[in-house]
């Protein structure tokens, strides 16, 4: 489930390799630059950007998955990741298994029944994260990274990239968790290296983190109203209350909003009591009046299934 991976390899970890003298011959589009008298060389490797000086080599700004598998509609599991790191090591003639990972994206593409926007519209707030809604997706920025949900086919078309036949004309929702800084600290492992990426315990842990990050997002209207069960005005009123409760994030959140409104003087004590009672009564009798939202059920199932296979 890896996509983009950035590496930094220090000269002390490279087994005596002289980066400036040896590495450029393995690169394309080589350029030489000078900063305060020091030489820096940049180049590329089939979409991966490589930069180096006498102290370190960096692999960045490209999908290792796309470099190794040909596209990033596929994602790399443990086995493919090990082969990709070994292939990168052979290509650059340096031990990338010893390199420090400075960015890591965990991602999966889901072929869905509905357009991606249907699922994106159900994704609400996430604690300790800033939610950013964009036309093709929703993004959650938090310390050290980001969660991203977007229309993968639209993103490919906008960037002029080829869409594989399997995904052409289909609904494709992508969910990725990006670790962009302090990765070792976030994962409580000290430092993440190339070899750790395909360690079984480490891989299982990051997949579970990916799953839990999705589960922590509040789902907007994660149940649908069952209009077939409506028999009169009272049930309609209760359905209306239930709809407001779901949009507020649940029964507890709705009650908290009422309590806060009373504290601000916007509601009298009796008004607040009546509203709380209406919310509690509606929630007690919700069985039969609501049915689980089909889109959220589908996405929940796909996320769970994605972490079952980690080889």
Burial of 211 (0-12, 13-18, 19+ CB in 10 A): middle
pLDDT digits (tens, 9 = 90+) for 81-140: 999 999 999 999 999 999 999 999 999 999 999 999 999 988 888 888 999 988 889 999
- Joined together, the tokens standing for residue 120 give 């994106």
Question: Bigger pLDDT: 146 or 239?
Answer: 146
pLDDT at 233: 76
Collapsed DSSP state (helix, strand, coil) of residue 76:
strand
pLDDT at 285: 60
Question: Bigger pLDDT: 235 or 61?
Answer: 61
What is the Cα–Cα distance from 311 to 295, expressed in whole angstroms? 28
Average pLDDT over residues 274-292: 73
Please state whether 51 falls in left (phi above 0), alpha (psi between -120 and 50) or beta. beta
Model confidence at 287: pLDDT above 80: no
pLDDT at 22: 94
Which pTM value belongs to this model? 0.79
- Joined together, the tokens standing for residue 288 give 């039969």
**Which residue is associated with the tokens 């993968």?**
152
Check: CB of residue 308 under 8 Å from CB of residue 210. no
- Residue 284 φ/ψ, nearest 5 degrees: -65, -30
pLDDT digits (tens, 9 = 90+) for 242-273: 778 777 766 777 888 999 999 999 999 999 99
Question: Bigger pLDDT: 252 or 182?
Answer: 182
- What is the overall mean pLDDT for the chain? 89
pLDDT at 4: 94
**Which residue is associated with the tokens 């994206």?**
105
Model confidence at 56: pLDDT above 60: yes
Residues with Cβ within 8 Å of residue 104, at least 6 apart in sequence: 2, 4, 5, 6, 178, 179, 183, 192, 197, 206
pLDDT at 75: 84
Q: How confident is the model at residue 222 (pLDDT cuts 50, 70, 90)?
A: low
Model confidence at 238: pLDDT above 80: no
pLDDT at 237: 78
């Amino acid at each position: 489930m890896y996509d983009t991976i950035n590496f930094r390899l220090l000269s002390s970890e490279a087994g005596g390799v002289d980066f400036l003298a040896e590495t450029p011959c393995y690169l394309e589009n080589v350029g030489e630059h000078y900063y305060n008298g020091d030489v820096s060389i940049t180049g590329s490797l089939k979409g991966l950007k490589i930069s180096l000086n006498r102290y370190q080599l960096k692999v960045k700004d490209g999908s290792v998955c796309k470099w190794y598998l040909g596209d990033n509609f596929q994602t790399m599991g443990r086995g493919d990741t090990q082969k990709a790191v070994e292939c990168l090591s052979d290509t650059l003639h340096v031990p990338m298994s010893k390199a420090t990972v400075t960015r890591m994206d965990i991602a999966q593409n889901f072929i869905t029944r509905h357009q991606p926007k249907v699922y994106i519209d159900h994704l609400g707030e996430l604690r300790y994260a800033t939610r950013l809604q964009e036309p093709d997706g929703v993004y959650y920025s938090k310390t050290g990274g980001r969660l991203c949900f977007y229309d993968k086919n639209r993103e490919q078309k906008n960037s002029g990239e080829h869409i594989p036949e399997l995904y052409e004309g289909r609904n494709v929702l992508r969910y990725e968790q990006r670790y962009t800084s302090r990765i070792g600290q976030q994962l409580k492992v000290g430092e993440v290296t190339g070899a750790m990426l395909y360690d079984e315990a480490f891989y299982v842990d990051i997949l579970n983190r990916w799953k839990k990050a999705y589960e922590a997002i509040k789902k907007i209207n994660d149940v649908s109203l069952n209009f077939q069960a409506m028999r009169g005005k009272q049930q309609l009123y209760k359905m209306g209350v239930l709809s407001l409760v779901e949009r507020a994030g649940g029964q507890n959140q709705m009650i908290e909003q009422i309590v806060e409104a009373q504290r601000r003087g916007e509601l009298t004590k009796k008004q607040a009591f009546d509203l709380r009672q209406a919310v509690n009564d509606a929630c007690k009798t919700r069985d039969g009046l609501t049915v689980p939202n089909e889109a959220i059920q589908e996405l929940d199932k796909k996320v769970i299934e994605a972490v079952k296979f980690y080889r």
